[in-house]
């Protein structure tokens, strides 16, 4: 039986300081099933994942907390220990090193730590691991690009978009208004600006 009271306590505890910790957990799709959650972690500063927000699908087995939670990245990540195909994670504490004293929050924080300290010798994704070991600069560039493309919300980095469009020769006020009207989509805004 899933320990419901523990899960509820964990959710409260985790979301209390999400601004500081950078991790948060909500029920999956706003449903009411406590065994299916989704977690969010922010990319650690000073890594190619900086500025990204990563979604993680969490499903709790009935034996939780005596069995580890099942976690998988929903957001695509370029990382030696995370499958670039399906987001599967290779992390010992989610497998044989799980302990009931660990919580969902500590597991998510461990994932955050994994992003800053990849283990290419124990890879989940061999291609990424090869690249990490042989062509590190390429790896960093790819990881940063993936973060940019998949892990950044449209609302994030609106200042940069404004800056970009302003550099193209449009007035700042106009750019801001246009961006707002298209919900922050850079390409749509450019199209609108060019046509109007």
Q: Pick the catalytic residue from 26, 27, 90, 188.
A: 90
Least CB distance from residue 109 to another protein, whole Å? 16
Distance CA(27)–CA(40), nearest Å, equals: 11
Distance set, CA 128 to CA 2, 84, 118, 125, 168 (Å): 36, 8, 11, 6, 36
Q: Is position 90 annotated as part of the catalytic site?
A: yes
Binding mask 21-60 for another protein (x = CB under 8 A): ----------------------------------------
Q: Give the residue from 27, 28, 56, 57 showing the smallest Cα distance to 42.
A: 56
Distance CA(161)–CA(6), nearest Å, equals: 43
For another protein, give the closer residue by CB, 67 or 180. 67
Q: Kindly report the backbone phi and psi dihedral angles of residue 79, in degrees, each rounded to the nearest multiple of 5, phi listed first.
A: -155, 140
Q: By CB under 8 A, which span of 2-10, 152-160, 162-170, 187-195 interacts with another protein?
A: 2-10
Distance CA(39)–CA(54), nearest Å, equals: 8
Query: Is 66 a binder of another protein (CB under 8 A)?
Result: yes
Least CB distance from residue 8 to another protein, whole Å? 10
For another protein, give the closer residue by CB, 10 or 144. 10
Least CB distance from residue 69 to another protein, whole Å? 11
Helix (H, G, I), strand (E, B) or coil at 119: coil
CA angle 96, 57, 101 (to 5 degrees): 40
Q: Give the residue from 105, 114, 113 showing the smallest Cα distance to 40.
A: 105
Q: By CB under 8 A, which span of 31-39, 92-100, 117-125, 154-162 interacts with another protein?
A: 92-100
For another protein, give the closer residue by CB, 21 or 55. 21
Active-site residues, by number, are: 90
Residues making contact with another protein (CB under 8 A) = 3, 5-6, 9-10, 61, 63, 65-68, 95-102
């Amino acid at each position: 039986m899933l320990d419901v009271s523990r899960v509820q306590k964990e959710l409260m505890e985790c979301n209390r300081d999400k601004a500081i910790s950078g991790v948060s957990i909500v029920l999956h799709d706003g449903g009411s099933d406590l065994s299916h959650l989704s977690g969010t972690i922010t990319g650690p500063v000073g890594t190619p994942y900086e500025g990204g927000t990563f979604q993680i699908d969490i499903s709790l087995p009935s034996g939780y907390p005596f069995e580890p939670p099942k976690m998988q990245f929903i957001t695509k990540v370029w990382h030696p220990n995370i499958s670039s195909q399906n987001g599967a994670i290779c992390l010992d504490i989610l497998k044989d090193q799980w302990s009931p004293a660990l919580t969902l929050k500590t597991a998510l924080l461990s994932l955050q730590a994994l992003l800053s300290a990849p283990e290419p010798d124990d890879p989940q994704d061999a291609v990424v691991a090869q690249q990490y070991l042989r062509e590190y600069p390429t790896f960093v560039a790819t990881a940063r690009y993936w973060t940019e493309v998949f892990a950044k919300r449209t609302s994030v980095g609106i200042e940069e978009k404004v800056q970009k469009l302003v550099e193209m020769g449009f007035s700042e006020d106009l750019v801001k208004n246009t961006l707002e009207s298209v919900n922050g989509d850079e390409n749509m805004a450019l199209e609108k600006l060019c046509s109007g």
